[in-house]
Amino acid sequence: MQMVSWQDAVLSVGGFAIFANGTDYQYKLPFTFQSMGKLSRIDRRLLCCDKTICSCLNKQGAMAPAHMDMIDQDTGEQVRYQREKPRCCGLIKPRMLVYHNGQKQGSLAKTTRIFNRCHTCMEDLRNQEIQVLSLHDENGELVGNTVRPGAGCCLTMYPSLPMRCMPIRIAGSNAGAFVCVACTMEAWPSPDRCTGMPFPFHVLNGQVGWGCIPHGCLSCDPICCQSCVRGPKPFYRAVGFPLVCFCCPLKTCCISCPMISLKRSELPITSTFRYEDMDIKFPNREERGRVQFQFRGNSPSAYTHDASNPFNAVMSLPGGQKVGILASAIMMARSHSFGLPEPLLEGVPVTGQGPDFDGWVTSFNTKEILALEACLDEHNLVVQDCQLNDTSLKGYTLFKIGYSTKGGNIGIFSWGGTEVRKPVSVMNKVETSSIIANGKKNVDAITWKLCFYMMDPEQEILTRRTGGVDKTFKDWHITSGLQEVSLECTCVRVCKFPFSCTRHESKLCQAGLGKTVFKQMVVGHFSYQNHCLNMFKQ
């Protein structure tokens, strides 16, 4: 039977089925099967040995198979995904073998090479793409792979020209300075905690880091400088250290006035969607296709499942053929356990991922925020490729933003001040740009907090507002644009010495103590159609 082209595929994880090119492959488990001994599986003539000499080998019971068979019940076409055990004391990672109608098509495996962790560390420091998974045909030839971007070095240092006033403190004495030239120094080491320490050093496991001490020699994969790779969180930040400054006694002079206005904000939003992407490339690193894992949350839902496992897995691979059927093994190995405590590809680095279910994204880089501002449309929808702290945001809508700043110190010298602007709801790009304009003026260590949600691109559930439904039909999921409108009194700063005219608002009081004054249906804000992320359904 000839193999189909395998250009597109959709895996229904909960339904244990793969739909590809008009063919529906269902997971097959025989209705009945006979128990056999371990030697009888090798050769039927060894049944007597299982019954007599080697009967003790079969007392442990039958082991769970490490494969899954997907069969088209109409044509009998079959695909098997079979997991292999690791070899050479775990140095050679377990592979996923793929068979089509009983014939081996190839394998999927994690990257295995001599001194792999050392090579990976050097590629991270040089910001090179790092190969994560490899697709090999039946002859062992590399036909495709997945990669992740390099993390970079943990140390950064660069100058800046803030041209602004800031408070400074020397040995406890307060002063003010106009800073012309400043310098930023940051350290972002990767966490490389001790593991596998024997007694009596086992108390150090997970408590201290290796630093630059060589380790991992017993596993034949040593490494020494993992901490030099850029990690997800900063260890030390000296942002805006003054290099050239002048005395500025009027650092706090400003002009402010009170103002009363109506404030609109979104009602609390619960997100039930997030995704991860894996780009599939040719051996020469040219783009070939993509696998996307879609996760769905449990709240609020009558159907509950493990939210850490993919709800759907989708593949798009123009050309397909053998590489397509091998790439489908990525969906299976990430979604099902194959007899392991967790899926084989659990925790494997991905090319990109969206915000978590709570929607919050943290950024320590104002340049990323300015790039995000350029990618927003008038309704705060991210319409271009954009990343904040390795989080992909294309197709998401920004609805909350805030920031906090913290001054730095070196010994008896400290500079900068603390400013906290709690995340507030923003309804359009004008409001977003106003907050970003205030935050980017700071040369102190700044932490941005933003919240996003994904507008539903699928068919909506009928409601009493959108369709003629029965009177007993209840609206459980309110997805329309309900807003909270309140009366606020704010103090607006219009000018600050020496030449800052950036508008800054500080809330003084709010009518109703923050409760909803009245609600208003705003359809226009949600009428914008989203065609950014839903790439497999266009």
The per-residue pLDDT for 534 is 38
Residue 332 is assigned to a structural domain of this protein: yes
The per-residue pLDDT for 508 is 67
Residue 346 is assigned to a structural domain of this protein: no
pLDDT digits 0-9 by tens, 140-149: 899 888 988 8
| Across 90-98, average pLDDT | 79
Domain of 332 in residue numbering reads as 9-46+64-150+270-301+311-338
The per-residue pLDDT for 401 is 93
The per-residue pLDDT for 518 is 33
The per-residue pLDDT for 259 is 74
Residues 136 and 222 in one domain: no
| Across 334-350, average pLDDT | 85
10 phi, psi to nearest 5 deg: -135, 125
Residue 351 is assigned to a structural domain of this protein: no
In the chain, % of residues over pLDDT 70: 77
Listed in sequence order, the residues at least 6 apart from 389 whose beta carbon sits closer than 8 Å to its beta carbon are 232, 361, 362, 363, 364, 365, 368
User: Is 532's pLDDT higher than 50?
Assistant: no
The per-residue pLDDT for 14 is 66
DSSP, res 341: S
| Across 389-394, average pLDDT | 88
Tell me how far apart the alpha carbons of residues 282 and 279 are, in angstroms, rounded to a whole number. 10
pLDDT digits 0-9 by tens, 37-82: 666 666 666 667 766 666 565 555 555 678 889 898 888 889 999 9
| Across 125-136, average pLDDT | 89
Tell me how far apart the alpha carbons of residues 182 and 245 are, in angstroms, rounded to a whole number. 9
Residue 434 — very low, low, confident or very high, per pLDDT cuts 50/70/90?
Answer: confident
Tell me how far apart the alpha carbons of residues 103 and 292 are, in angstroms, rounded to a whole number. 27
Residues 279 and 146 in one domain: yes
In the chain, % of residues over pLDDT 90: 11
Residue 532 is assigned to a structural domain of this protein: no
Hey, what are 211's tokens?
């630093």
Listed in sequence order, the residues at least 6 apart from 392 whose beta carbon sits closer than 8 Å to its beta carbon are 277, 352, 353, 354, 385, 386
User: Is 360's pLDDT higher than 90?
Assistant: yes
Residues 413 and 329 in one domain: no
The per-residue pLDDT for 361 is 93
DSSP, res 87: B
What's the whole-number average pLDDT of the chain?
78
Tell me how far apart the alpha carbons of residues 233 and 84 are, in angstroms, rounded to a whole number. 36
Residues 240 and 379 in one domain: no
The per-residue pLDDT for 38 is 65
Please tell me whether the peptide bond between 198 and the residue prior to it is cis, using omega within 30 degrees of 0.
no
The per-residue pLDDT for 516 is 39
Residues 39 and 162 in one domain: no
pLDDT digits 0-9 by tens, 14-27: 667 888 877 888 88
With both helix axes pointing from N to C terminus, report the angle between 429-439 and 366-375 in degrees, rounded to the nearest 10. 160
User: Is 91's pLDDT higher than 80?
Assistant: no
Count of structural domains, the chain: 3
Q: Identify the residue with better confidence: 112 or 139.
A: 139
Residues 325 and 375 in one domain: no
Residue 536 — very low, low, confident or very high, per pLDDT cuts 50/70/90?
Answer: very low
Residues 441 and 415 in one domain: yes
User: What SS3 string covers 496-535?
Assistant: ECCCECCCEEEEEEEHHHHCCCEEEECCHHHCCCCCCCCH
Listed in sequence order, the residues at least 6 apart from 264 whose beta carbon sits closer than 8 Å to its beta carbon are 425, 427, 483, 484, 485, 520
User: What SS3 string covers 201-258?
Assistant: HHHHCCCCECCCCCECCCCCCCECCHHHEECCCCCEEEEEEEEEEEECCCCCCEEEEE
Secondary structure element (H or E) that encloses residue 164, with its range: strand 164-170
Residues 31 and 163 in one domain: no
Residue 343 is assigned to a structural domain of this protein: no
Residue 196 — very low, low, confident or very high, per pLDDT cuts 50/70/90?
Answer: low
What is the amino acid identity at position 292? Answer: Q
Residues 187 and 224 in one domain: yes
| Across 222-243, average pLDDT | 84
Residues 36 and 143 in one domain: yes
pLDDT digits 0-9 by tens, 308-331: 888 888 888 887 778 888 888 999
User: Is 474's pLDDT higher than 60?
Assistant: yes
Range with top average pLDDT, 170-174, 244-248, 265-269, 403-407: 403-407
Residue 528 is assigned to a structural domain of this protein: no
User: Is 375's pLDDT higher than 90?
Assistant: yes
Secondary structure element (H or E) that encloses residue 487, with its range: strand 482-496
The per-residue pLDDT for 526 is 28
In this structure, the number of other CB atoms found within 10 A of the CB of residue 173 comes to 8
pLDDT digits 0-9 by tens, 485-528: 777 777 777 666 655 656 667 776 766 444 333 333 332 222 22
Residue 176 is assigned to a structural domain of this protein: yes
User: Minimal CA–CA distance to 191: which of 148, 157, 234, 161?
Assistant: 234
Listed in sequence order, the residues at least 6 apart from 367 whose beta carbon sits closer than 8 Å to its beta carbon are none
Tell me how far apart the alpha carbons of residues 408 and 168 are, in angstroms, rounded to a whole number. 10
Residue 243 is assigned to a structural domain of this protein: yes
User: Is 223's pLDDT higher than 50?
Assistant: yes
| Across 118-128, average pLDDT | 88
Segment among 39-43, 158-162, 347-351 with least mean pLDDT: 39-43
Residues 101 and 14 in one domain: yes
What is the amino acid identity at position 162? Answer: P
Residues shown for the chain: 538
The per-residue pLDDT for 527 is 27
Residues 29 and 15 in one domain: yes
What is the amino acid identity at position 334? Answer: R
| Across 237-264, average pLDDT | 73
| Across 202-211, average pLDDT | 68
